[in-house]
Amino acid sequence: MAMLFADFDAESFLRDHWQKRPLLIRNPWQSWSNPLEPDELAGLACESGVESRLVTQSQASWSLEQGPLPQDRFGTLGKKPWTLLVQAVDHHVPAVAALVEPFRFIPNWRMDDVMVSYAVDGGGVGPHFDQYDVFLVQGLGRRRWQVGGYCDDATELQPHDELRLLAHFEPAEEWVLEPGDMLYLPPRIAHDGVAIGDDCMTYSVGFRAPSRRELIANWSESLFAELADDDRYADPALGLQENPGEIAQPALDDLHAMIAESLLDRDGFARWFGQYSTTPESPEIDWQPEEPISLTDLSLALAEGRPLVRNPASRCAFVRLDDARLMLFVNGQCFPCEGPMALFAEQLCRQDRMPVELDLLTSKPALELIADLYNQGCIGFDSES
């Protein structure tokens, strides 16, 4: 079940703090409960399909080990400060995935993942800055956060091949977070978190922000795969030039138009970006049910009023085409929807639990869509109903 905020004004947060300045939020939850035990996190770090890192500190030097880690590694660390970081834990642990739901006031496509860290006393990853928005939720123990100023590509870093640590860090604010407390940091704000005592767990709810370089590279790559080799430049109206060495302006205009026509295809870009932004970080994870559901069994279950629930690890978004049609994107796939299907798609993207309207039961395309999503593990039936 998703955790919910009891005291958090999303509208004022977006107006006053989102991508503007940090905000400390003292325990905004209805009831905070740490969703993952330290031993479970350590177990994930030992699995080959999970991205993990171990950061150890010895005096002023830092070391980084990439996972998967040997099971006996944690017993050999001794008393020096260390931190374990495991990426995309929400893709592996439903209770951690449920932590994302309260943040749905930010568009789904901006959601990245939930990284979980565990640190012993004094452990941390050093002063640094990130390129994305993040909510740092204290799960267990206590952590002291120091926050500094704005950084950019010219900010001096320490000479470390793998850790992007700041060469000079001057904290401007400092807080100690207790379980349930939360710190929001905009992109490029310098910060440093250090565990106070053992068993310190922090949940980093991160939001993606694609760079211009990333967008151009991936959109161009997608276009390249679809272009035909015989779609070539042509100049049937070619006239005599005074100097054959000149690349004439009319030729440049036509050549530039060939590229711009494809790059500026807004409908094609919308379809590509919907698929690109909802593609799972870990596509190798299989969420499919043990037994696929038939349209007959699906219809019977829905007729009984059984509500559907969205897999918290699924990425869902849509692009509206007009009042009756939209494109639904789920885990990198595109599903054109209209009429009742479009209403269902909006509901799927808006909430994690949804009753199914009766008019969907008479629509075969709608049932086929629901069955397809069910058989891929994107949705399922509410086990509590």
Give dist(CA 233, CA 240) in Å, integer: 18
One-letter amino acid identity for 380? Answer: G
Residue 329 confidence (pLDDT)? 97
Kindly state the percentage of the chain with pLDDT values over 70. 99
- pLDDT, average across residues 45-72: 91
Q: Tell whether 279 is covered by a domain.
A: no
Give dist(CA 359, CA 345) in Å, integer: 14
One-letter amino acid identity for 204? Answer: S
Encoded tokens for 210: 């694609």
218 & 334 share domain:
no
One-letter amino acid identity for 343? Answer: L
> What residues make up the domain containing 45?
10-207
Q: Tell whether 24 is covered by a domain.
A: yes
Q: Which of 322, 326, 321 is nearest to 344 (CA)?
A: 326
Q: Which residues of 111-149 are buried (b: 16+ CB within 10 A; e: fewer)?
A: bbbbbbbbbbebbbbbbbbbeebbbbbbbbbbbbbbbbe
Residue 385 confidence (pLDDT)? 54
Residues 6+ apart with CB under 8 A from 95: 35, 36
Give dist(CA 86, CA 54) in Å, integer: 9
| Whole-model pTM over 0.85 | yes
- Cβ neighbours, 10 Å, residue 299: 18
Instruction: For residue 300, give the CATH number of its domain.
Output: 3.40.366.30
21 & 74 share domain:
yes
49 & 165 share domain:
yes
- Give the per-residue SS3 of 165-226: CECCCCCCEEEEECCCCEEEECCCEEEEEEEEEEEEEEEEEEECCCCHHHHHHHHHHHHHHH
21 & 56 share domain:
yes
Instruction: For residue 137, give the CATH number of its domain.
Output: 2.60.120.650
59 & 171 share domain:
yes
Q: Tell whether 270 is covered by a domain.
A: no
Q: What share of the chain is helix, strand, coil (3-state, %, to 5)?
A: 30, 30, 45
Encoded tokens for 25: 């939020």
Task: Scan for tokens 């409908």, then name that residue.
Answer: 267
63 & 161 share domain:
yes
Residue spans of alpha helices (H) in the chain: 10-16, 38-45, 94-97, 212-226, 249-263, 266-278, 295-303, 340-350, 364-375
Query: Residue 188: which region, alpha, beta or left (left: phi > 0; alpha: psi -120 to 50)?
Result: left
Q: Tell whether 237 is covered by a domain.
A: no
User: In total, how many domains does the chain have?
Assistant: 3
Q: Tell whether 346 is covered by a domain.
A: yes
The length of the chain is: 385
258 & 313 share domain:
no
253 & 328 share domain:
no
Per residue in 106-132, pLDDT (tens digit) is 999 999 999 999 999 999 999 999 999
Q: Tell whether 179 is covered by a domain.
A: yes
Encoded tokens for 359: 């008019």
Residue 382 confidence (pLDDT)? 84
165 & 195 share domain:
yes
Give dist(CA 33, CA 3) in Å, integer: 9
Question: How big is the chain by its Cα radius of gyration, in Å?
Answer: 25
Residue 281 confidence (pLDDT)? 75
The two counts, helices (H) then strands (E), for the chain are: 9, 15
337 & 252 share domain:
no
Residue 1 pLDDT greater than 70, yes or no: no
pLDDT band (50, 70, 90) for residue 5: very high
141 & 218 share domain:
no
Residue 384 confidence (pLDDT)? 63
225 & 180 share domain:
no
DSSP state of 70: P
DSSP state of 359: G
Per residue in 140-199, pLDDT (tens digit) is 999 999 999 999 999 999 988 788 999 999 999 999 999 999 999 999 999 999 999 999
Say whether 328 sits in a helix, a strand or coil.
strand
Give dist(CA 59, CA 311) in Å, integer: 44
Per residue in 278-293, pLDDT (tens digit) is 998 776 777 889 899 9
Q: Which residue has the higher pLDDT, 356 or 126?
A: 126
Q: Tell whether 290 is covered by a domain.
A: no
Q: Tell whether 94 is covered by a domain.
A: yes
